[in-house]
Amino acid sequence: MDPEAEPGIEIELHDVQPEQPEAGTDPADREGTKIVAVGSPVARPRVFVHYGCLKQVLGHAYGEVDREVGGVLVGKNFRSRHGLVTELTAAIAARTEKAGLGHITFSHEAWNDIYRQLDELEPQLRIMGWYHSHPGFGIFLSHQDKFIHGSFFAGSQNVALVVDPLSGCVGMFGWRGRRLGSLGGIRILAAEEHQAAAEQLAEKLHYIVSDRQEHVHGLRERLGKTIRRLAQGQQRFEAR
């Protein structure tokens, strides 16, 4: 699917300072590093996921296929000769006991826990995005997901990774200007010794982002609310 053709959603970016990242070597120019693509990643924003980081995310999502799980993506951003780069090096799992249908909730305790774990990583690493699973729902950003991204990940280089462990589908989302949309694919960054494993992993994953599933999910959410309202109405009726 052409990511340009997606409707996306307009979210006002609040208080985002213009970012002036330092210069760095583009991952494509590094010796002994291989780039393996899932889907067709857009040229900008230029996002890379370390093989180890993706393995962490998939391990979390595939480990609990009966509920949505998630966490944050940690890494750095810098300016290379190819433009701004977002490089994701590790994932931190969040405690998401309050997950709902198609979205997760980052509670105050979850954030505290995430920051505790971040403190133990290299000091230059920052939270660059988040990930969560949609077991059996397919890949899209729900209304609540877009709210989370616009609230906590409004930086121009912040990204969201969504994984459906039941279908093997994945999707990467980010800001394209003021629009939040699919980034067309995932660039896996693998050291020489992980290249074969990264290629095998990429073959198993499908980059499929579906607006239709977003629509069906929206209907399911609305239907759920209607049923709850009807049930409350019936309780009130019976109580009379």
CB of 219 to Zn ion, least distance (A): 15
CB of 134 to Zn ion, least distance (A): 5
Residue closer to Zn ion (CB basis): 79 or 95: 95
Q: Is 62 buried (19+), middle (13-18) or exposed (0-12) by CB count in 10 A?
A: middle
Residue closer to Zn ion (CB basis): 48 or 140: 140
Residue closer to Zn ion (CB basis): 93 or 198: 93
The size of the interface with Zn ion (CB under 5 A), counted in residues, is 4
Give the span between the Cα atoms of 31 and 157, in whole angstroms: 25
Q: Is residue 76 a contact point for Zn ion (CB under 5 A)?
A: no
Residue closer to Zn ion (CB basis): 144 or 195: 144
Binding characters for Zn ion, 1-40, by CB under 5 A (x = yes): ----------------------------------------
Give the span between the Cα atoms of 140 and 137, in whole angstroms: 8
CB of 160 to Zn ion, least distance (A): 9
Q: Output the six-digit token pair for 220.
A: 């399911």
CB of 95 to Zn ion, least distance (A): 17
CB of 133 to Zn ion, least distance (A): 8
Residue closer to Zn ion (CB basis): 130 or 175: 130
Q: What are phi and psi of 182, to 5 degrees?
A: -65, 140
Q: Which residue has the tokens 């701004």?
A: 84
Give the span between the Cα atoms of 56 and 63, in whole angstroms: 10
Among residue numbers 97 through 156, which ones bind Zn ion (CB under 5 A)?
Answer: 102-103, 142, 145
Give the span between the Cα atoms of 167 and 36, in whole angstroms: 20
Give the span between the Cα atoms of 41 and 209, in whole angstroms: 13
Residue closer to Zn ion (CB basis): 142 or 182: 142
CB of 161 to Zn ion, least distance (A): 11
Question: Buried b vs exposed e over 206-232: b needs ≥16 C-beta within 10 Å?
Answer: ebbbbeebbeebeeebeeeeeeeeeee
Q: Are strands 185-191 and 159-164 parallel, antiparallel or unpaired?
A: unpaired
Other residues' Cβ atoms within 10 Å of the Cβ of residue 114: 20
Binding characters for Zn ion, 193-222, by CB under 5 A (x = yes): ------------------------------
CB of 45 to Zn ion, least distance (A): 20
Residue closer to Zn ion (CB basis): 114 or 160: 160
Using CB under 5 A, list all residues that contact Zn ion: 102-103, 142, 145
